[in-house]
Amino acid sequence: MNQNIEFQDSGRILLKDLYKIYTDNNNKLQKLREEYSKYPDGDLYIRTKSGKNFFYEKKNSGEKAIGHDKERIDLLMKKRLIEHDINCRTLFDSNTKALINKMESGLKKYRNQNSSLTLKRIYSSEIYAHWDPDDAIAKWKSENYKTNPHYADQKKLITNCDLKVRSKSEKIIADKLWNENITFRYEAQLSINGFTCYPDFTIRKKSGKIVIWEHFGLLEDNEYFQSMIAKLEKYRSFGFRQHTNLICTYEDDIISCPRKY
């Protein structure tokens, strides 16, 4: 198998990962075979009668009961387990090797297509050198950020990602985002043209753009309702539109959504 794959795309990365898995398994397989070769002849068989186990050692010359010999039982048991591990890893080895060969062949064919030429030029361009969406999201996720300082003592419910939130509905939303591997911030400070707010959830897309998610839960309270209207109007004036970069949910939305994902 040729390890000098030159096609600069995710296929190269996947092949590298496959080679590592294949090599690690192959090394482990060789060690297991060496260890297995040191064990004596004979195989362990266990028969059950009236709920009790009876141990036998089987050789070409026949078999004998070894229930009295715990050391021999332990030795042959380890041998049988190693043999099973060898069989599993041998199967994995042959299938991984076949997958690598198939993937190499497919990438070689794909490399000669016109679309791959454009990909090569993208990867070699200066623009791509400064653009790594996954890395940018990881940095954004790990950065410290200011959160809503008001009524911090109300954050008592703990989400699956050990985040404290204010309500059961917010916990459901946070758990859903976490389970779907969506990077988000909770009540993070957002400043736009001098206006500072703390959306319930801020989601960063790979493009670098953000989506804000507001959950409104006290619509029967007139003061809360008026505050919601003012906030939505402010968001709209700054270019946030529902179903594009603004998500709004209400208690009925959460009540009607499945709790188990």
Given this model, what pLDDT does residue 103 score? 87
Give the C-alpha separation, 238 to 234, whole Å: 7
How many C-beta neighbours within 10 Å does residue 223 have?
8
240 vs 117 pLDDT, higher one: 240
Tell me the per-residue pLDDT of 11-53, one tens digit each, with 9 for 90 and over. 777 888 899 999 999 999 999 999 999 999 999 999 999 999 9
What does the alpha-carbon distance between residue 188 and residue 199 come to, in Å, rounded to a whole number? 7
Count CA atoms within 13 Å of residue 39 on its CB side.
21
Q: How far is CA 68 from CA 8, 55, 101, 115, 254, in A?
A: 63, 9, 51, 70, 64
Total-model pTM = 0.48
Residue 195 has a pLDDT of 82
Average pLDDT over the chain reads 83
Tens digits of residue pLDDT in 118-173: 555 555 554 444 445 566 777 787 788 899 988 888 899 999 988 999 999 999 99
Q: What is the C-alpha separation between 108 and 106, in angstroms, rounded?
A: 5
Average pLDDT over residues 226-234: 90
Instruction: Please name every residue paired with 59 in a beta bridge, in sequence order, or none if there are none.
Output: 62
What is the pLDDT, as a whole number, of residue 30?
95
**Tell me: the pLDDT tens digits for 53-73?**
999 999 988 899 999 999 999
Can you give the pLDDT at residue 224?
86
Which residues are 179's β-sheet partners? none
Angle among Cα 244, 246, 248 to the nearest 5 degrees reads 125
Under a CB-based contact definition with an 8 Å cutoff, are residues 193 and 238 in contact? yes
